[in-house]
Amino acid sequence: MDLNQIFIDYKACALVAEKFKEAKIKRENYFNGEYFPPSNEPRELVLGYFTAIVALDHRTSTPISEYRASINGVVYKGSDLLHHLGSREFLRNPDYFSAENLSKLSLKEFNRVFTYGDVSLWDAGVRVLLLRDLGKKVLDIYGDFTGLFNVTSITEFKERLKVFRAYEDPVEKKIFLLAKFLEGRGLIKFTDPQNFQVPVDNHLTRIALRLGIVSLTDYSFILKEIEVNSETDTAIRVKVREAWKVVSEISGKDPFLLDDFLWRFGRTICLREKPLCEKCFLKDYCRAYKTKNFLPEHTFTLTWYY
């Protein structure tokens, strides 16, 4: 598609932002033991856990496989399952997430942690390579995760992370997801929160397109589920990120707060199939609800960016 035909609808952003001004939303609990390390663990080990788990936190399911398991009667899927299995290993062996261990991690050891029964990640070998790259470069450049995160600005935080293959997405989804976690845990105090952005994934893209805060002149490739190239994927997600920044600035809700809400909202209300519009406080300002044309996000399957 013509990359110049992707627009931010500022009027729609303003209307959505007004609804968010009124909304009582809150940050997620990053101390929840189902998904995250306990609060009393050493900072170095917790930094290692979050940096490694976010490095892995991209497409967990494909059209031919689903990352979903029932554990002790609770169903976990996608990122929830990834974080749950990772946090269980942290409790057993927190050194698993040390830079030293990551730098030499084997596929067997990776699958021991992140496979449950016959449920496994579709690109386990790629994720092992990302973790090895992370561990080796942390050791070679900074010595440990504490050295890596000896920063005060999100700007420097971003520049340091871009050396790692797992964090090279030009739209910086994993970078801002990690920043959100570390800031929320109180592990880093950023001095430039004005530079925060939402970490753009499928959910935030789908919601933006349905609300109409991002518009395209041609939606046919989305409706036909024609897979886009990386240039188009990046162009769409950049506009989505910019649009949510506009909503953030007008509403006074910071991007990390917005992301916590939108990610959960996309998984529970604004579903890809059969969205629960009657439960949505944004429906009166939603283009999809008015037109009954519920666009999915664009198709871009094989990626380690998001």
The whole-number pLDDT of residue 135 equals 98
pLDDT at 3 over 80: no
Read off the pLDDT of residues 120-156 as tens digits, 9 standing for 90 and up.
Answer: 999 999 999 999 999 999 999 999 999 999 999 999 9
How much is the pLDDT for 1? 64
- The position carrying tokens 């497409």 is 59
Please state which CATH number belongs to domain 3-27+195-291. 1.10.1670.10
pLDDT in tens, 266-288: 999 999 999 999 999 999 999 99
Reply yes or no on whether the pLDDT at 32 is more than 70: yes
Instruction: Compute the average pLDDT of residues 22-47.
Output: 96
**What is the C-alpha to C-alpha distance for residues 55 and 164, in angstroms, rounded to an integer?**
9
Q: Give the pLDDT of residue 113.
A: 98
286 contacts 182 by C-beta, under 8 angstroms: no
Domain ranges of the chain: 3-27+195-291, 43-150
- Average of pLDDT values for 165-173? 98
Report residue 74: phi and psi, to 5°. Answer: -110, 130
How far is Cα 262 from Cα 288, in angstroms, rounded to an integer? 16
Query: Which of 198, 206, 207, 213 shows the shortest CA–CA distance to 11?
Result: 213
Distance CA 59, CA 123 (A): 9
Half-sphere CA count of 234, side-chain side, radius 13 A: 10
6-8/68-71 β-pairing: unpaired
For 55-102, the pLDDT digits (tens) are 999 999 999 999 999 999 999 999 999 999 999 999 999 999 999 999
C-alpha 74 chain-centroid distance: 22
Closest listed residue to residue 44, CA positions, set 139, 147, 179, 191: 147
pLDDT digits (tens, 9 = 90+) for 191-238: 999 999 999 999 999 999 999 999 999 999 999 999 999 999 999 999
Which residue pairs from 260-265 have beta carbons closer than 8 angstroms and sit at least 24 positions apart in sequence?
A: 260/25, 260/26, 260/27, 260/28, 260/180, 261/23, 261/25, 262/198, 262/203, 262/204, 262/207, 263/201, 263/203, 263/204, 264/28, 265/203, 265/207
The CB-side HSE value for 110 (13 A sphere, CA atoms) comes to: 22
CB contact at 8 A, 1 and 221: yes
